[in-house]
Amino acid sequence: MDGTPTTTTMGPRKPVVLYPSPGMGHLVSMIELGKLFTARGLVITIVVIDPPNNTSATGPFLAGVSAANPSISFHRLPQVKLGESERPEMLTFQLARLSNPHLHDFLAGASPAILVVDFFCSAAMDVAAELGIPAYFFCTSGAQVLAYFMHLTVLHGKSTVSLREMGEELVHAPGIPSFPASHSIQPLMNRDGPAYKELLSVSAKLFGSQGIIVNTFRSLEPRAVDTIVAGLCTPPGLPTPPVYCIGPLIKSEEVGVKRGDECLAWLDTQPKASVVFLCFGSLGRFSAKQTREVAAGLEASGQRFLWVVRSPPGEDDPAKTKFEKPAEPDLDALLPEGFLDRTKGWGLVVKSWAPQRDVLAHDAVGCFVTHCGWNSVLESVMAGVPMLAWPLYAEQKMNKVFLEKEMRLAVAMEGYDKELVEAGEVAKKVRWVMDSEGGRALRERTLTAMRQANDALLEGGESEATLAGLVDAWVHA
């Protein structure tokens, strides 16, 4: 955020402890939050829990963050052992719960002024309560997802039917567009499953916090924010915690040792707003058949493209591979024969990774085909690049509905919720965004959102003022 950092400190320099869940997207968001706090004179410690099969890939990155930000330190909790049969959606909840004794020991010694916990580390709220530490939630998703989760216990009480049995029946919650039950996040589909019970517990714990910090800005999601603040998402008899919209927070530098120079140098040779960028997050992977359909669609579209291709998912146990880095893709085996030669010059395929933030910020990029992860959405908004939505997992199908129906910053790739998105659809939608009147209107709305985002972060802007007020309240508590 712009503006002169304040230098006030909290009493005897007690730290503010941030507790992200594992997964680079959550870790990066929490680090960026920490940077905002240190710019206002706070001392930050970020507690890190390692997933099973951890490759220590975050080690060099965290060391770099510490070196560049002396007021941020990291504390790595001892690793815990999980049961062999844990499903992917349960991993983070179990990691956090099993880490509570280690977290208790650390917090008892550190005596922090404030604890900020990731949505998926809600088990830490019990430790905070025991030690008398004021605790806040940090929501790395948007306000509309938060509104849904705050209302979850009310929805649960209204029905005895699982979401998976409701199919395309609409789910209604205050402050958000109605969406098909099939578009809720996967762990909520079975109301008798352990993941559903965990998320129901998180929903209840939100109302025991001192407040909820959200990575959004009010003018992006005004209806959801106003509905939450008015208490319309809150179950009867519970207090509505204060909500602090301090975003958009996007990473200030790219994660990883690779710089992606090939991508950026190639974009330098392309006309302004002419390139379609396709990238689907750290966990987004397509079957070989779907990858070939995308290739055929891009070639048929005639549009310039930059495409990040990952290896197809294997047959491994998903619980063991959730946090593991996939193998590099074999492009010759995955892509149609001759595709790379035929598209040379106007298309570029890169393996596994690209510097997404820098790519989106490049003048040559005119469309972003995205999985609708919230970090990616905010990076696209900050760059003023219209989105073509292809949601895959987590809350992304909900985000797609919100982006399309409420924010009007994306159109959907038809078939995303079926077995296959066909090449003809890829070609049609890419051309629509890049060449049609509707696509131009979409681009104008996105540029308006970009200007609102930048205004929110300026000194005195809605997000900057919210952050300043929160920190001031902590300092003078």
User: Which positions are annotated as active-site residues?
Assistant: 26, 118
How many separate helices (H) and strands (E) can be counted in the chain? 21, 15
Q: What is the C-alpha separation between 262 and 329, in angstroms, rounded?
A: 17
What sign does the dihedral 383-387-390-392 (CA atoms) show? Answer: positive
What sign does the dihedral 2-8-13-17 (CA atoms) show? Answer: negative
Do residues 107 and 190 make contact, with C-beta atoms less than 8 angstroms apart? no
Instruction: Output the DSSP codes for 287-300.
Output: -HHHHHHHHHHHHH
What 3-state class would DSSP assign to 39? coil
Do residues 152 and 122 make contact, with C-beta atoms less than 8 angstroms apart? no
The answer to whether the bond into 248 is cis (omega within 30° of 0) is yes
Neighbours of 376 (CB within 10 A): 24
Q: What is the C-alpha separation between 225 and 245, in angstroms, rounded?
A: 8
Q: What is the C-alpha separation between 17 and 104, in angstroms, rounded?
A: 12
Q: What is the C-alpha separation between 159 and 45, in angstroms, rounded?
A: 42
Q: What is the C-alpha separation between 321 and 319, in angstroms, rounded?
A: 6
H helices of 69-142, where? Answer: 88-98, 100-110, 124-131
Considering only CA atoms, give the Rg of the chain: 22
Q: Are strands 365-370 and 275-279 parallel, antiparallel or unpaired?
A: parallel
Q: What angle do CA 348, 351, 357 make, to 5 degrees?
A: 75
Q: What is the C-alpha separation between 38 and 33, in angstroms, rounded?
A: 9
Do residues 65 and 29 make contact, with C-beta atoms less than 8 angstroms apart? no
H helices of 159-276, where? Answer: 163-166, 194-205, 222-229, 261-268
Beta bridge partners of 171: 179
- Burial class of residue 273 in the structure, from the number of CB atoms within 10 Å of its CB (0-12 exposed, 13-18 middle, 19+ buried): middle
What 3-state class would DSSP assign to 206? helix
Closest Cα partner for 179 from 401, 470, 458?
A: 401
